[in-house]
Amino acid sequence: MTQKLSCYIIDDEHLAQQILEKYIEKISFLELRGSFSSALEAAAHMDTHKPDLLFLDINMPDLNGLSFIPMLNPKPMIVLTTAYDKYALKAFDLEVRDYLLKPISFERFYKAVWRLYQESKPQPQPEQKEVQPPPKNDPDYIFVKVGFKIQKVLIQEILFVEGMKDYIRIQTTKEKIMTLLSFAKLAELLPEQKFSRVHRSFVVALDKIDHIEKNRIMIGDQRIPISDTYAEAFFKKLGDFSV
């Protein structure tokens, strides 16, 4: 069923009222609720029966249309119907929806109300897509304290990390770096998907592993043990290989 726009006509010219009434009668989505000869007369009805659309003349006795508009609350859609074009600027300052100059043709009338009818329809809401958080970019480097300096270490160059009592030895492709750092803190710094703890004393870079044999990891000439505590998580990260 078509949702109709309820309408009022306010015009002190009887002939103008009749023309608008005939136009409204022809249009399926408009429903005339009342015709009034003055704004004051219409105001008494609008307190209880608020129209969607108001066809309003400007020059009327007692209260002209432009003075009546600011009094409307809530304000319906307003189409001014007048013989004078000099009020157009003022009218649009008052946020009227259209300005029809008399004599009003049916074609011009229909174009105006059809546009307003389309605008009044509820607009389909765009499908809400779940917003995925942006991928977390892995850092390219970390900083560690070495003696009295803070040294930059490129993650891509790290082969493995070995715990040595109070120190950690970071073995890179270029050098050995000794630093006071806990394994827990190291885990926060290194990309989880690229490194794995395999022993209480070792973290290895997965892409630097040459091969694994008998629970031993070979990285270059370094043999690194895999303890039972970390074996399951390590092999699962590699691809669910059995121990």
**SS (HEC) of 94-157:** CCCCEEEECCCCHHHHHHHHHHHHHHHCCCCCCCCCCCCCCCCCCCCEEEEEECCEEEEEEHHH
pLDDT computed for residue 147 by the predictor: 81
pLDDT computed for residue 115 by the predictor: 93
pLDDT computed for residue 89 by the predictor: 84
On average, the pLDDT of the chain sits at 88
DSSP track, 35-52:
EESSHHHHHHHHTTS--S
Of 19-23, 137-141, 168-172, the range with the lowest mean pLDDT is 137-141
Per-residue pLDDT tens digits for 49-93: 889 999 999 999 889 999 999 999 889 999 999 999 888 888 888
Decide if pLDDT at 242 tops 60.
no
Decide if pLDDT at 124 tops 80.
no
Give just the sign of the alpha carbon dihedral 112, 116, 117, 123.
positive
Both tokens of 22, joined, read 């005939």
pLDDT computed for residue 1 by the predictor: 44
Decide if pLDDT at 240 tops 60.
no
- Pairing label, strands 149-154, 158-164: unpaired
For the chain, give the percent of residues with pLDDT over 70: 91
* C-beta separation of 16 from 102 below 8 A: yes
Structural element, H or E, at residue 9: strand 5-10
Cα separation of 119 and 76, whole Å? 13
- Bridge partners (DSSP) listed for residue 216: 225
Per-residue pLDDT tens digits for 143-158: 888 888 888 899 999 9
Decide if pLDDT at 122 tops 90.
no
CA dihedral defined by 97, 99, 102, 104, rounded to 10 degrees? Answer: -50
pLDDT computed for residue 129 by the predictor: 66
Residues 6+ apart with CB under 8 A from 201: 162, 163, 164
Same fold, 5-120 and 141-238: no
* CATH tag for 141-238 (out of 2.40.50.1020, 3.40.50.300, 3.30.70.3170, 1.10.260.40): 2.40.50.1020
Domain ranges of the chain: 5-120, 141-238
Among all chains, which residue has been given the structure tokens 């390590």? 234
| pLDDT tier, 173 (very low <50, low <70, confident <90, very high otherwise) | very high
- Bridge partners (DSSP) listed for residue 204: 160, 196
| pLDDT tier, 28 (very low <50, low <70, confident <90, very high otherwise) | very high
Per CATH, is 5-120 categorized as 3.40.605.10?
no
* C-beta separation of 56 from 10 below 8 A: yes
